[in-house]
Amino acid sequence: MSYQLAVWRGAIRAEFRMQIQRRAMWFTFALLTIVALPFRGGLPEILTVAPHTSIVAVLCQWSVLVNFLGMIGVAFFMADRLPRDHIVRVDELFASVADGLAARLVGKYLGGLAAVMVPLTLWYGCGVASLSLHMQDLTVIVLGIVTYCAIVIPGALFVGAFSLACPAVLWVPLYQFLFVGYWLWGNAFPPYPHFPIITLSGTMLTPVGSAISVGLFHVPAFGLYHLSLAEGIASLCLLPGIAIGTVLLLTIFIRWQMTQQ
């Protein structure tokens, strides 16, 4: 058990360091921050509307926007973590050492995701801090932490898990293309039948956070206006639950793959 724990800790530390030192990641999130400025729910807009509307509504809008653009960065920078092991040929080395695959993969997932969440959290935090200063109200920060934990974190866990797992079977550029298509189809469209194409958008499986925003905070997002509290809580539990299941399935798949070699 202590061996597994050591592998897990080591993997988290190594992955976090590798990912956090990627200048490209910081640069990408800086550009995404700039791209998000004129967007609906962007910083200039929320600062303008904040005095005239509920602060929870403004924070939910901000969380959903950061999720909507930021998760593209999370997905793309998590997607090359597994293929990298193969390219630099450390997967063969890992396969030859004693069993610690599950701990290593969970460590890789948590370490990589934690690092890519740093710029995203700073981006989110800048918005909340600006809002707090603008409103001269410290409760904004407390509420900002609540919406961050409820909307941003579950989405990131979900997207991170799939972005780590899918490139095990898909070519990275193909996964990235499919992800962008999915992100629009499964998150940004208004829910069916308000939109003519059947979509996951507006269901409990919406990692952009619109279901949680509506269900938990009663703040409409992406054409979704009504969802019960129970459905909001279910979404909050389902997204991390599916993420855990995905990492478990990845472990089983890679173990099976290793036995086939």
Partner 1 sequence: MHRAYYELRIWGWQVIAPPLIILVGGALGAIAIVTLTAHGTHATVSTFLTALCEMFLPLAAGIICAMALLQDAALELQLALPVSFAITTMRRWGLLVSWMAVCAWIGTCIMFIFGLWHVPTQIQEWPVLGRFLAAHLIWFAPLMWFGAIGLVLALLLRNPVTSATLLGGIWIVETFATNFFTTTGLHPLFLFPTTFAPAIDFWLPNRLELIATGVVLLPLCWWLLRDNEVVFQISTTGQSE
Q: What's the burial of 37, exposed, middle or buried (CB within 10 Å: 0-12/13-18/19+)?
A: exposed
Cα(73)–Cα(234) distance, integer angstroms: 26
Min. distance of Cβ 85 from partner 1 in angstroms? 10
Q: Where are the alpha helices (DSSP H) in the chain?
A: 2-20, 23-36, 43-49, 55-79, 81-87, 91-96, 101-135, 139-147, 153-165, 172-183, 210-217, 229-260
Min. distance of Cβ 56 from partner 1 in angstroms? 24
Residue with tokens 């173990």: 255
Min. distance of Cβ 42 from partner 1 in angstroms? 11
Min. distance of Cβ 108 from partner 1 in angstroms? 15
Min. distance of Cβ 18 from partner 1 in angstroms? 8
Contacts to partner 1 by CB under 8 A? 18, 22, 24-25, 27-28, 31-32, 35, 38-40, 68-69, 72-73, 76-77, 79-80, 84, 87-88, 171-174, 176-177, 179-181, 183-184, 188, 192-193, 196-198
Cα(149)–Cα(152) distance, integer angstroms: 6
Which residue, 208 or 238, is less far from partner 1 as judged by CB?
208
Which residue, 40 or 52, is less far from partner 1 as judged by CB?
40
Which residue, 1 or 87, is less far from partner 1 as judged by CB?
87
Which residue, 68 or 158, is less far from partner 1 as judged by CB?
68
Q: Which residues pair with 224 in a beta bridge?
A: 221
Cα(157)–Cα(45) distance, integer angstroms: 28
Which residue, 19 or 63, is less far from partner 1 as judged by CB?
19
